[in-house]
Structure 1
Amino acid sequence: MSGSKLPTQAILRWVKRQPPKVKAFLAVVAGMAALVFIRFIVHDHDNLFVAAEAVHAVGISVLIYKLTKEKTCAGLSLKSQDLTALFLAVRLYCSFVMEYDIHTLLDTATLASTLWVIYMMRFKLKSSYMEDKDNFVIYYVVLPCALLALLVHPSTSHNFFNRLCWAFCVYLEAVSVLPQLRLMQNTKIVEPFTAHYVFALGIARFLSCAHWVLQVLDTRGHLLTALGYGLWPSMVLLSEIVQTFILADFCYYYVKSLLGGQLVLRLPSGVV
């Protein structure tokens, strides 16, 4: 084992022994430190959102490699892919009718790739799909997101239906990975390509969250006013933070497994 890994593993072992409240505090401190670091090295914080989309695309590419080369979709949640396609389709619609920009092109490519993954899982590789383990009820997230969109949505001058769609895709994106995390918790063992994909999602979510937080700081809060009034601006930020923290625990075990030289990630009970 190289000497550079020894201090890192010692730190990870120390963190593992800490109570949940201390772990949560350390995660917040680490996140804030990362935000400060990013703020100083990235001058145009709009690039963070593009970077988040690029990392998500890398994650999708890992899935495509897994499906084409290994000819199996074991360990992947079809329900998470369905939710991802749904929020991307809604966000793409909003992009076309509200603000056509580079994000529209990125979302189009990501949606096309996601639909291809869904096609492969539903038809070509259906025999390897772990349907019994993929038991998350997606209505538990779709319906609450739709209801929340009705209650809290942008107060901009756009069409009312478009504003509802905007809010719905923001909320749904925040929880779209939950079926994938449930499947991994059911199996307890996560093979490498699936772990790489979920870790890429975690990095993408953090970059997206960093984009919003730093934009608010750069504009001294004026960005919140630009998003509208009422609870909506706060809900946008909260959704970004929720996405990040949902995946934070998994990313911790991923890094720990990677540093330990383990090819297969084993999740302890209660991670998801």
Structure 2
Amino acid sequence: MTVFRLAGDASHALAWAVLLLILCCSRSAAGLSLRTQELLLLVYAWRYQDLAWNFLSLYNWCTKLAYLSLAVCVVSACHCVPALRRTRNYSTDLRPLSTLLLLVLPSLLLGYATSMDRTSPFENLWASSLYLEAVAAVPQLVLIVREGSSRSAVSHYIFLLALYRAFYLGNWAQRYRREPYYWQPQAWTSGAVQTLLYVPFFIVY
């Protein structure tokens, strides 16, 4: 456990807390891409299947459960709470079919192609979740470009997510220096791509 990992997890958790605060206080989903939230939920569902049997540490298990639960809450609220449904950006958000064809299916194919064990559904989905997380912010970026602006409250949430990814790059670099057998090219590649996609958010912020 490195200081970068702890800082990254803290930024990640704070991002979800800020998002829930935005939705609860403003009762508006304006400026927020529901497609991005659905993709993040799919990422966690694919990656955290091992919640039922993998108890590496209490911290690790609770963190996984918290991210998955928070994502379920946000997506459910955007779909079910009338005030949030009315303020969703239907015209500027990516369509479900476009999201499936352009982001989800390529992630599944890349995950299968680079999986450590192609006979294991868990390994295939775990690898796919890395690539899907890398592009999950694309619908949010598209929404900002189409609308020509970013809601300030949503920008804080996006900034914290970008910060989380930046801290994880530091975590990987530190682990690579300290651990002789640490080798995760899939995570490094997808993380680098995700960080590059967040650069426009940093500029806007």
TM-score for the superposition, normalised by structure 1: 0.68
Aligned to 2:139: 179
1:215-226 to 2 correspondence within 5 Å? 215-220=175-180, 222-224=181-183
C-alpha separation in 1, matches of 2:147 and 2:73: 25
Match of 1:76 among 32, 45, 64: 32
One-letter amino acid matched to 1:69 = C
One-letter amino acid matched to 2:66 = A
Aligned to 2:80: 123
One-letter amino acid matched to 1:59 = A
Structure 1 residues 89 and 100, CA gap change in structure 2 (3 angstroms): farther
Residue pair 2:127, 2:186 contacting (<8 A) in 1 also: no
Larger relative contact order (CA 8 Å, sep ≥ 6) = 2
Residue pair 1:94, 1:165 contacting (<8 A) in 2 also: no
One-letter amino acid matched to 1:115 = V
1:241-252 to 2 correspondence within 5 Å? 241-252=192-203
C-alpha separation in 2, matches of 1:200 and 1:163: 28
Does residue 238 of the first structure (1) align with residue 189 of the second (2)?
Answer: yes
Report SS of the residue matched to 1:162.
helix
Deviation of the 1:81 alpha carbon: 0.5
C-alpha separation in 1, matches of 2:43 and 2:105: 13
C-alpha separation in 2, matches of 1:115 and 1:185: 26
One-letter amino acid matched to 1:49 = R
Give % identity.
25
Deviation of the 1:83 alpha carbon: 0.6
Report SS of the residue matched to 2:30.
coil
* Cα deviation 1:89-116 (Å, max 9, x = unaligned): 2221135445543222112112211211
RMSD: 1.9
Residue pair 1:73, 1:121 contacting (<8 A) in 2 also: yes
C-alpha separation in 1, matches of 2:178 and 2:66: 30
1:91-130 to 2 correspondence within 5 Å? 91-98=47-54, 100-101=56-57, 102-124=59-81, 125-130=84-89
Match of 1:146 among 92, 100, 108: 108
Aligned to 2:18: 62
One-letter amino acid matched to 1:138 = T
Report SS of the residue matched to 1:174.
helix
Residue pair 2:51, 2:65 contacting (<8 A) in 1 also: no
Report SS of the residue matched to 1:180.
helix
C-alpha separation in 2, matches of 1:100 and 1:70: 38
Structure 2 gap ranges (5+): none
C-alpha separation in 1, matches of 2:61 and 2:90: 32
Structure 1 gap ranges (5+): 1-43, 225-232, 255-272
C-alpha separation in 1, matches of 2:64 and 2:141: 23
Residue pair 1:213, 1:237 contacting (<8 A) in 2 also: no
Aligned to 1:188: 148
Residue pair 1:92, 1:104 contacting (<8 A) in 2 also: no
C-alpha separation in 2, matches of 1:134 and 1:237: 28
Q: Quick check: 125-134 or 57-66, which moved more?
A: 57-66
Match of 2:41 among 85, 88, 92: 85
TM-score for the superposition, normalised by structure 2: 0.89
Runs of 4+ residues over 3 Å off in structure 1:
94-100
